[in-house]
Structure 1
Amino acid sequence: MSDSHTAHHTRNTGGVRVVGLLSILAGIVLIIAGAATWYVVTDQLKAQDITVAEDAEWFGGKQVNGPLDAYSEAQVIEKHALEATGGKTYAQLEQDDPVREVAMNASFLRASLFTSVVAYGVAAFAMGMGVLWLLLGWSLRKLA
């Protein structure tokens, strides 16, 4: 009876070990994908050679190459656009208003910068999930 119990126990732990290994592999893939995304976004931002405006609340004069300075530059672009349009957004300006183009360009620039901020967030999330999957897989294999 103990032999069949041992065989049954081994079969069950084998499945747990496989799931643990798959979790570890998924964790590695997520970490690599997140890190690659972070690198690509940083590289693309650096290539644009954007400098945070001096009058920004944070990071004035710093090259945009990360999520915080990209966010800071997006905020200062909004400030400058609202100054140029008398506090009106693109949608609030009359269609024939010549400053509407300023508001439109500011909106496009802000959207592009916010896209990079979101990409950084997704990359960080992927790396964090990768660490969790690694820990889960390691734990499953230890328990098995």
Structure 2
Amino acid sequence: MSTATVPATTLGDTKVKVLKLIGWAGILGAVVMIIGGGVVWGVVSSQLAAEKITVAEDASFLAGAPVVGPFSAYAQADIINHHALAMAGDKTYAELDKEDPLRATVMNASFLRTSLFTSVVSFGVSAFAIGMGVLSGLFGWAILTLAPAWPKKTTATGVRA
């Protein structure tokens, strides 16, 4: 087993301190992002669960599953669109005549899809925050690991203690 020596650093005391602080900031940012992303994911999931929505049985995937996550929310939004288009003869809300009695139903379907897609985006942003938190923590840890030790304090006589 060989022991490698770390080359002497040419960084001054101030740069070493700044480098260490950046490392700690990365780790602190990681904690905030991971917790924040997890909390948002949990809130969105619990709010969807409270609505007691189940993916329609004729959905292309996750049929019958409770809508509590990004994939089930997407599946339900997709089947709502399918049903609305089938009911309106493949016309969207904007394409229907203003006097068409189906227009209100298609509009409600559009609103439901938008709400479900908003939750899908929220899950995505939460996952992104958690992922970036993990990366930030790894970068902070790497900086702290590779940076030289904190400079020793200088005594009144100018000698490092």
- TM-score by structure 2 length? 0.84
> How far, CA to CA, are the matches of 1:67 and 1:7 in structure 2?
50
1:80-99 equivalences in 2 (<5 Å)? 80-99=83-102
1:1-144 equivalences in 2 (<5 Å)? 9-144=12-147
> How far, CA to CA, are the matches of 2:34 and 2:42 in structure 1?
12
Q: Unaligned regions of 5+ residues in structure 1, if any? A: none
SS of the residue aligned with 2:12?
Answer: helix
Q: Unaligned regions of 5+ residues in structure 2, if any? A: 1-7, 148-161
Give 4+ residue runs of structure 1 displaced > 3 Å after superposition.
Answer: 5-11
Letter in 2 for 1:88: K
Q: Do the aligned partners of 1:22 and 1:137 also contact (CA within 8 Å) in 2?
A: yes
Q: Do the aligned partners of 1:37 and 1:123 also contact (CA within 8 Å) in 2?
A: yes
CA deviations over 1:88-132 (Å, ceiling 9, x no partner): 000000000000011101000000000000000000000000001
What is the alpha-carbon root mean square deviation over aligned residues?
Answer: 1.5
Q: Do the aligned partners of 1:59 and 1:72 also contact (CA within 8 Å) in 2?
A: yes
Aligned residues: 140
- Percent identity (aligned): 50
Specify the structure having the higher radius of gyration (Cα).
2
Q: Which has the higher helix share?
A: 1
Report the alpha carbon displacement of residue 13 of structure 1 after superposing the two structures with TM.
1.5
